[in-house]
Amino acid sequence: MQGRLGFTRRRAALVGFAAVLALGAAGATSRSAHAGGQFSGSYNSAVVYNGQLHEFSYDATSGTLIHTWWSGSWQTEVLDGAGGIANGAQTGRDEGLYNSAIVYNGQLHDFYYDATNGDLRHVWWNGSSWTAEELDGNSGDVSGAMTATVGIWNSVLVYNGQLQDFYENLDGPSVRHIVWNGSSWFAETLDPRGGGSLSNSAIVYQNTVHDFYQSTAGLNHLWFANGSWHFETLNADPNLADEGNSSLVFNGQLQDFYTGSDGNADKGLYHIVWNGTRWVNEQLDFNNADWPSGIVYNNQVQAFYTNSASAMNMNHFVWTGTRWAWELLDGPGSTGGAGRTTNVVGSYNSAILYNSQVHDFYFDNTATVLRHAVYSGGWFFEAI
């Protein structure tokens, strides 16, 4: 799937879109407990489960995995780390970075990083209780597990009825891949070229598993076809894709947002598309950019990301069908009220569709709390 790259720059004023704010469906058990006096919201991953909006994040104050969900009001609990309620959660360990959540076989799942042991961890809700387990790394014991520091940059998906996760082996460095076949786990190393696997973003496209990631070679792409894995470098620049990566499918085309960030020669927000015959690449923002999260809404591609050129704030791009439209949503320089803040915000974006609305979760670096943005004819912002 290799193709010629072509750079263009397109940026314009925002074109609005409409939605109705109608959060939540009651039914989740209400459990609330504070970790370190607050719930910080880094390494976010949002998912819809049983008609409710759920969010997994990391509290750096206490080193814990936090679960937040909407049940008529926001409910929060500690799953893993000190005070974690999940069976198999280890107190005193630093848990919950690099979350990637999904619904599989009617159960809510999250993959994340154990920073104390250097392991890939997994927690799931069976309908009545949470269970956590070690999968791969220094404490992992599944088939194919390796004694190494693994588990950052998780990206989970379901393919052929199997639960799968892509993540990085930091000691390699290389791309790791783990699969639940219905009865057991199997882990493996994928890219034989090595060089890292930062910013994994896995997706199913045309009934094939794909993953975008960074290595010392630049932006890379792997996919599974005809019984084997295939690899290519899409943008041969190691300064790219270092702080977040987000893939999607729109109009039958495979797409990915990626970044070059602080200190890099090629800083900015990038967008790459497979048009059926070749890859087409463009740079959308020429300032420092981190943590993009892309979705499709109202037949438009949308991307949320952090712009940290001078003061970190949360930004938003929309493809109108003919051009890219941009706005500064929250943080220093934002205007319009509606719960906006002048705090340094916008990293660890996790955008999702829920109740026919666009939602985005992100981090308030100043107050160290989880932020939430919703569009309902105008933007609404809140700290959770």
pLDDT at 137: 97
Q: Which helix (H) or strand (E) holds 232?
A: strand 228-235
Q: How far apart are CA 220 and CA 245, in angstroms?
A: 11
- Bigger pLDDT: 12 or 136? 136
Residue 18 has pLDDT above 50, yes or no: no
pTM over 0.85: yes
Spell out the residues 6+ positions from residue 148 whose beta carbon is closer than 8 angstroms to its own.
Answer: 118, 137, 138, 169, 170, 171, 172
Average pLDDT of the segment spanning 278-306:
93
Residues 6+ apart with CB under 8 A from 66: 35, 39, 40, 41, 56, 57, 58, 59, 76, 77, 78, 79, 96
% of residues, the chain, pLDDT over 90: 74
318-357 burial by CB neighbour count: b if 16+ within 10 A, else e?
Answer: bbeeeebbbbbbbbbebeeeeebbebbbbbbbbbbbbbeb
| Span 181-201, pLDDT tens digits | 999 999 999 988 887 878 899
- Please check the confidence at residue 66 and state whether its pLDDT lies above 60: yes
Q: State yes or no: pLDDT of 55 exceeds 50.
A: yes
Give pLDDT tens digits for 262-289: 556 668 899 999 999 999 999 999 888 8
At the top level of CATH, which class does the domain 40-153 belong to? Answer: mainly beta
Domain limits, the chain: 1-30+190-384, 40-153
Task: Report the pLDDT averaged over residues 165-184.
Answer: 94
Per-position DSSP letters for 15-64, written without gaps between them: -----------S-S------BTTB---EEEEEEEETTEEEEEEEETTTTE
Which pair of tokens denotes residue 333? 């320089």
User: Which of 3-7, 81-85, 228-232, 330-334 has the least mean pLDDT?
Assistant: 3-7
How confident is the model at residue 37, as a pLDDT? 41
Q: What is the CATH number of domain 1-30+190-384?
A: 2.120.10.10
